[in-house]
Chain A
């Protein structure tokens, strides 16, 4: 029975979050925070794949998020709403209920392709160089969007609210809460499965000793390419969800600040630790919300937390470990299928 416990726990959380939102028990502010937690889990877990598991240093994660956010938003607004930019809607707004996840996946795919464009020149570079390349890509994406006037330029783009409203007119359920958490769970599942396969272990071997990995038969170029594409694709999905949760996006939200937030979450949770990424995304989102009364000063407090963390716990909350390593009893709940078999 225990092997299903984690799934059961996630399912319970999902049902209660969606149910309570639907019943109106949770205020719309709490709902918003809950959805941001989901988006942040996707951001930190996907960045952890590159920075934690593969040991590279990508610091332009928000650039991929922006690509996903804009592609998805442009498509849904074009398809399902009538507006000044695209004219009348191509498809009946009700179809959004079914097509939304596919459009979201398409946005993620485009973000993954942009990730590939970054991965190719980064084959020969490591460390500082990759950091600079990804930083540059972040700026390129942001400035490019700022300068495309038809989609709003620096003023931003909206209309996604009407798409979500259209979905709610068909069936009145908290659509974005549902999709956000479905994709957040999917992200965790995908990364978990990837890094526990022999294929994905090759990524960790690259972090540990790239030359040895290559000589012992790991196709390091392909492995890096796949890890990078997966990571940026998942960030693209997070971006698409983020855009539809807020109903409004502008290039300013996908600047270096957003990338830094993702980095902080990865280092707070611990490199190469998936449960750490989830934990830190939850903590970080809540801390930011709690510090909201401080207004701008929260950007003094949050980096301070990071500095203290680096001084006193450089490996993050759970560096290279999972929750179950610290609390072996949790294994009964979180045990993977293999571990259960091993125990039997």
Chain B
């Protein structure tokens, strides 16, 4: 049984074919990239996997279980966490609270426990605060725990977003353009960070990326999308030499 599998996934927005016949499989432990020009349908695929959209055709399975018809928070509970292309932290909440909220899917106390502050409630909240602070510590964000998320510089906000995804203890981590808006130094640091969390948390990572330096450096395998269709698949070297990929990115050569 495969860790994660996407089979014959297609999605239409009205008459527009956003994704067509997309296939992919992870056995576990890979670091795979999804690239393609703007509007190729990359983020749409992430949204289909996470349950934001429901696919027109095809299926997504994690550990053999079909994700069809699940709400996003249920997909999260199955072990898929993601970050967003445009950072989507909760800006007016502290960094610590941003991390705390991500524990919501496995809260084991009820509303009444919270009202009477039962021992079960206090235990759970203590545990949540501990894991949240641990993750912040690991990610080097300890000093920012009480800061409002909106006050952090861009690079750190990305890190908080990754930290927030990590407390979900995902089997699969989906990163949507993690290097967007970063400068050269930050990108280098990001590559190191992704490698490190992958080893530390033994994650399977699937990332969308525009920045070729990051993709080629990080990914073992790359899938290229254009107009919703897979046009190439393979190792970074194979992709770089593939004429269809070059054409999709740079256009056809004029004879």
B73 interface residue (CB < 8 Å to A): yes
- Chain B, 102-113, contact with A by CB distance < 8 Å: what is the 0/1 string? 111111010100
Contact B72 A214 (CB under 8 A): yes
Whether B104 lies near A219 (C-beta < 8 A) is yes
Asked if B31 is an interface residue, CB under 8 A from chain A, the answer is no
Additional pairs, 7, CB under 8 Å, beyond known A198-B128, A217-B104 = A197-B121, A198-B125, A199-B109, A200-B114, A205-B93, A212-B88, A219-B105
Q: List B residues 12-43 near A (Cβ within 8 Å).
A: none
B76 part of interface (Cβ distance < 8 Å): yes
Q: Are B90 and A213 in contact (CB under 8 A)?
A: yes
Q: Is B64 an interface residue (CB 8 A)?
A: no
B111 and A199 form a contact (CB under 8 A): yes
The answer to whether A204 touches B90 (Cβ under 8 A) is yes
* A199-B104 in contact (CB<8A): yes
Interface string of B166-198 (1 = CB under 8 A from A): 001000000000000000000000000000000
Residue pair B107, A199 in contact (C-beta under 8 Å): yes
> A212–B76 Cα gap in the complex (Å)?
11
Q: What 0/1 pattern do residues 181 to 207 of A give for CB contact below 8 A with B?
A: 000000000100110011111101100
Q: Give the complex CA separation of A215 and B102 in angstroms.
A: 9
What residues of A have a CB within 8 angstroms of the CB of B72 in the complex?
Answer: 214-215
Beta-carbon contact of A219 and B93 below 8 Å: no
Contact of B102 among A209, A216, A226 (CB under 8 A): A216
Known contacts A217-B77, A320-B92; A194/B52 CB under 8 A? no
Given the complex of chains A and B, what is the CA–CA distance between A202 and B103 in angstroms?
10
10 closest Cβ pairs, A-B complex: A217-B105, A208-B90, A212-B88, A217-B76, A197-B114, A214-B72, A218-B104, A215-B72, A205-B101, A216-B102
Known: A217-B77, A218-B101. A194 touches B168 (CB 8 A): no
A215–B52 touching, CB < 8 Å: yes
A201: contacting residue among B97, B106, B115, CB under 8 A: B97
Contacts of B101 in A (CB 8 A): 198, 201-202, 204-205, 213, 216, 218
B90 touching A219, Cβ below 8 Å: no
| Contacting residues, chain B, for A209 (C-beta < 8 A) | 88-90
CB distance from B115 to the nearest CB of A (A): 6
Does the CB pair A190–B115 fall under 8 Å?
yes
Within 8 A of B (CB), among A203-248: 204-205, 208-209, 211-221, 226
Cβ of B92: which chain A residues have Cβ within 8 Å of it?
204, 208, 320
Measured CA separation A221–B50 after assembly (Å): 17
Q: Is the CB of A226 within 8 A of B111?
A: yes
A193 is contacted by which of B52, B97, B102, B115 (Cβ under 8 Å)?
B115
| Chain B residues, CB < 8 A from A213 | 90, 101
Interface SS of chain B: helix
Which B residues are CB-close (under 8 A) to A204? 90, 92-93, 97, 101
- Inside 8 A of B164's CB, which chain A residues have their CB? 216
- Taking the complex as formed, is B71 at the interface, i.e. its CB lies under 8 A from any CB of chain A? yes
Which residues does chain B contribute within 8 Å of A205, judged by CB atoms?
90, 93, 101
- Chain A contact residues: helix, strand, loop or mixed: helix
Near A by CB (< 8 A), chain B positions 88-143 give: 88-93, 97, 100-107, 109, 111, 114-115, 117, 121, 124-125, 128
Q: How large is the interface on B (under 10, 10 to 19, 20 to 34, 35 or more residues)?
A: 35 or more
A260→B115 CA distance, assembly (Å) = 29
B103: chain A residues at CB < 8 Å are: 198, 217
A residues near B144, Cβ cutoff 8 Å: none
Interface membership of B82, Cβ < 8 A: yes
Q: Which residues of B are found within 8 Å of A193, using beta-carbon distances? A: 114-115, 117
- 19 intermolecular pairs with C-beta atoms under 8 Å apart: A193-B115, A199-B109, A199-B111, A200-B114, A201-B97, A204-B97, A208-B91, A208-B93, A212-B88, A213-B101, A216-B76, A216-B165, A217-B77, A217-B102, A217-B104, A217-B105, A217-B168, A218-B105, A320-B92
In this assembly, does B227 line the interface, its C-beta being within 8 Å of a C-beta of chain A?
no
Q: Point out which of A197, A214, A221 has the most chain B C-beta atoms below 10 A from its C-beta.
A: A197
A201, B100: Cβ atoms closer than 8 Å = yes
Chain B residues near A220 (CB, 8 Å)?
A: 73
As a 0/1 sequence over residues 305 to 324 of chain A, the CB contacts with chain B under 8 angstroms (1 = contact) are: 00000000000000010000
Complex CA–CA separation, A206 to B77 (angstroms): 18
B79 → chain A, closest Cβ, in Å?
11
Measured CB to CB, the closest approach of chain B to A204, in angstroms, equals 6
How far, in whole Å, are A226 and B164 apart by their CA atoms in the complex? 24
Cβ–Cβ < 8 Å partners of A219 in chain B: 71, 73, 104-105
What's the minimum C-beta distance from B98 to chain A, rounded to whole angstroms?
Answer: 8
Give the chain A neighbours of B107 by CB distance below 8 A.
198-199
- Complex Cα–Cα for A212 and B125 (A): 22
Question: How many Å from the CB of A49 to the closest CB on chain B?
Answer: 13
Chain A nearest CB, measured from B196 CB (Å): 22
A197-B125, A208-B93 as given contacts; A216 in contact with B168, CB under 8 Å:
yes
In the complex, A262 Cα to B105 Cα: how many Å? 33
A13-31 residues at the B interface, CB under 8 angstroms: none
Contact (A215, B100) CB under 8 Å given A198-B107, A200-B114, A209-B88: no
Q: How far apart are the CA atoms of A199 and B52 in the complex, in Å?
A: 22
Cβ–Cβ contact B90 & A217, under 8 A: no
A14 CB to nearest chain B CB (Å): 20
Contact B88–A218 (Cβ < 8 Å): no
Interface centre among A199, A204, A215 (most CB of B within 10 A): A215
